[in-house]
Amino acid sequence: MLKDFFNWLGDLPPLLQVPVVILAFLAAVGLLLFFLEVAPRRGRGYTIMRVAVAVLVPAFVLFAFGSVWWAIAIGALAGGAMFLLDYRSRAGTGYVLQLVGFLAPALFLLVIGLIYPSIATIFQAFQSSRGRWVGLENFAWIFSQPDNLVTIRNTIIWVLVVPIISTIAGLAYAVFIDKSRGEKYFKILVFMPMAISFVGASIIWRFIYGYREAGQSQYGLLNQIVVWFGGTPVNWLQQAPLNTFLLIVVLIWVQTGFAMVVLSAAIKGVPTEQIEAAQLDGTNAWQRFLNVTVPGIRSSLVVVLTTISIASLKVFDIVRTMGTAYPDTDVIANEMVTLAQNFETGRSAAFAVLLFILVLPIVIYNARVIKKQREIR
Amino acid sequence: MTSTIPADLPLPGAKTTQGAVERADEGNITRRSKRRLTSRGATIASLVIAILWTIPTFGLFVTSLRPQEEITRSGWWEVFLRWDLTLENYQTVLANEDLSRSFINSIVITLPATVAPLVVAALAAYAFAWIDFKGKNTLFILVFALQIVPIQMTLVPLLTLFFRGLHTAGGTLFEGFQGAGIYTQVWIAHTIFALPLAIFLLHNFISEIPGEVIEAARVDGAGHGQIFLRIVLPLTVPAIASFAIFQFLWVWNDLLVALIFASGEASPITRTLAELTGQFGRTAYLLPAGAFIAMIVPLIVFFALQRYFVRGLLAGSTKG
């Protein structure tokens, strides 16, 4: 069913597929919303409709996936059970069905696409690549190899440096250009790197870091500047601790635009009255920034820092397209792919678990922020 | 919160925040309530940032306009010594069938992969914000935490699922998407990977809607469907639009998902460019022009939707 639809869709000219698939999707969502609207209504007609939807929708979804009959029957039975649960729900009839209707599409996709694979990965981390249980052997391997320690160190450097510098640069820039003439154009200049793919970025930065031996004409800007000042050109990406920072510069260059755009919007949300009041109190610009603006945009700051931290933990494209030929540039996210490509699934999964653990503090901090916000409401 | 004032409208109150320094030259700009940058230091700092951030792209742009021999012979700055620019590279790139087809592929992949996660995430975010249920906070934090799952780890299980489907001892549960359109897998993969962040950001925004508004609608007899469609969606337009921009950029610029889920004929422009980069040498001189063409669409999108960035966006709450 579903396959047939996509099959039919695939035969259309590519550009026609876009409106067709979007409209089909929106129609399905519209139908869902219509049902959610009428679900809690009283009356026999609505009850019959609830039964029909609760039983038929799961059955139909399974049918659309091409399932065999007994699976469809189980789906219908589960739907019927859901209806009974809903009918007796303490929060009122229709409550459970509504909740499921709103959450099911997202949760279903998350379960198959993210939760199931993560659980599988956690199991794999304790297995050899042949599927034998090996306990902590993969982790022992990670921490016994000097190369891996460099990889971990690099990842930590990335996640510490990139979010802080791009947020500070983005915030400073957003404050400086706030309400200035030509703000729009100033914004676009810094936002532009966001519009460039990492593939494009790696091409761009080749013309910055590029190296040719002394005496030849340089094509990398950095080395040309060195030559202009009378130095000898350096093969930048070959210099071991430095090259990681040079790659970090690329991600900062990209992420500053993100920080700037989001924070600039947040700054404009700070009530003018607060700033005026502070002004009347005789504070200077820096004090106003620190005591009025920053607290006012704190939640946006947390979002920006979190998003960029996670992006830098997962950084892959930059290292893959720019760094692989050079020493000691590896990061966990890239090493995982390399190992997986060499069929070392266990070790690759162990690195993934390590990445989860590294990111845990960020999640815990955000969880607390979320809880706090809930309590305020 | 609903205001979507374009960036260039004079905002009320802009004038009153002026410092004493700028007041001196206010006479020159009385027509507009805009002011100069905060101070000379700030002007210099923002100019420096703007220039530093633009130089790499500018270099690429100049390179893309130089003839092949010049690109390999010398750095792009020498163009100022010897003015020699041509549109030849762009002509060659546009005539290249692989690149022009992958440009269309990029469009076909990106649009549905922007709309679908936004809608699905908005539904879930609404439930997290306005329907009470047991374990809501825990579930929400779990969804938030899913952001950290490295996409690399999920590719193999997901790919296997799409390719082989799902079978149990008793028969098929899901027949898979083999041969079901070349874009299907890419759309679904992008939708899934975008969800955690989209739900998190939209929830931040949707939960800021004043409770009285929702309550009033409920008293008037609106169910969740109407509240979502008639109240929450219109009030969330700025947040949805700004997330749409980011999602569009991320999908358009993605390489990883494209490498795994897009077959050769569905490969988007990033992948084709990366393949060209791989064969460095013969076609290397075309890369700058190709990269620039790939940039044009995201920039247009940013220009078109930029006004939504102006006020109270993405968790642009002043509380908290």
Instruction: Report CB contact under 8 Å: B42, A176.
Output: yes
Which residues of chain B lie closer than 8 angstroms to A25, CB-CB? 112, 115-116, 119
Domain B92-309 top-level CATH class: mainly alpha
**A67 to B192: CB separation less than 8 angstroms, yes or no:** no
What are the chain B neighbours of A110 within 8 Å (beta carbons)?
143, 146, 192, 195-196
A contact test, residue of B30, B47, B49 with most A CBs within 10 A? B49
What CA–CA distance (Å, rounded) separates A4 from A234?
58
Give pLDDT, residue A305. 92
Stronger pLDDT, B93 or B170, i.e. the higher one: B93
Q: The tokens of A369 are what?
A: 């922020």
Which of A113-117, A226-230, A317-321 shows the lowest per-residue confidence on average (mean pLDDT)? A317-321
Least CB–CB distance from A177: residue in B37, B242, B312? B37
- Beta-carbon separation of A102 and B131 below 8 A: yes
| Domain positions in chain B | 92-309
Across the interface, which of B34, B54, B315 has its CB nearest the CB of A180?
B34
How much is the pLDDT for B247? 92
DSSP state of B171: E
State both tokens at A170.
């983005």
Q: What is the per-residue DSSP string for B214-262? A: HHHHHHTT--HHHIIIIIIHHHHHHHHHHHHHHHHHHHHH--HHHHHHS
pLDDT at B17: 38
Q: Which residues of B touch A70 (CB under 8 A)?
A: 170-171
pLDDT(A236) > 80:
yes
Identify whether the C-beta of residue A71 lies closer than 8 Å to the C-beta of residue B166.
no
Q: Among candidates B180, B307, B190, B182, which has minimal Cα distance to B253?
A: B190
* Residue B78: pLDDT over 60: yes
**What is the phi-psi region of residue B35: left when phi exceeds 0, alpha when psi lies from -120 to 50, beta otherwise?**
beta
Q: What is residue B310's predicted lDDT score, i.e. its pLDDT? A: 56
Question: What is the DSSP annotation of B13-75?
Answer: TTGGG--HHHHGGGGGGTTSS-B--S-HHHHHHHHHHHHHHHHHHHHHHHHHTS-HHHHHHS-
Mean pLDDT, rounded, for B182-199: 91
pLDDT tens digit string along B128-174? Answer: 988 888 888 889 888 988 887 878 778 778 888 887 777 777 777 77
A253-257, B5-9, B255-259, B281-285: least confident range: B5-9
State the amino acid at position B97 in one-letter form.
Answer: E
Predicted pLDDT of residue B108: 92
User: pLDDT of A192-206, one tens digit each?
Assistant: 888 888 888 888 888
Chain B residue numbers with beta carbons less than 8 Å from the beta carbon of A268 are 11, 310-312
Instruction: Mark which residues 67-126 of B lie under 8 Å from A by CB.
Output: 73-78, 104-105, 107-108, 111-112, 115-116, 119-121, 123-124, 126
**Chain mean position to CA B57:** 19
Domains delineated in chain A? 2-106 (no CATH), 146-376 (1.10.3720.10)
Cβ contacts of B240 within 8 Å, gap of 6 or more: B118, B122, B202, B233
Alpha-carbon span A196 to B299, nearest angstrom: 9
A-B contacts (CB, under 8 Å): 413
What is the tens place of the pLDDT at every residue in A260-288?
988 888 888 788 888 888 888 888 888 88
**CB-based contacts of A367, cutoff 8 Å, min separation 6:** B141, B144, B145
Q: Which residue of A has its CA nearest to B102?
A: A14
Most trustworthy range by pLDDT among A63-72, A235-244, B9-18, B120-129? B120-129
pLDDT band at B248; cut points 50, 70, 90: very high
Residues of chain B numbered 274-303 and touching chain A (CB < 8 Å): 274, 277, 287-288, 291, 294-295, 298-299, 302-303
Is residue B195 pLDDT above 90, yes or no?
yes
Q: Could you tell me how far CA B217 lies from the centroid of its own chain?
A: 33
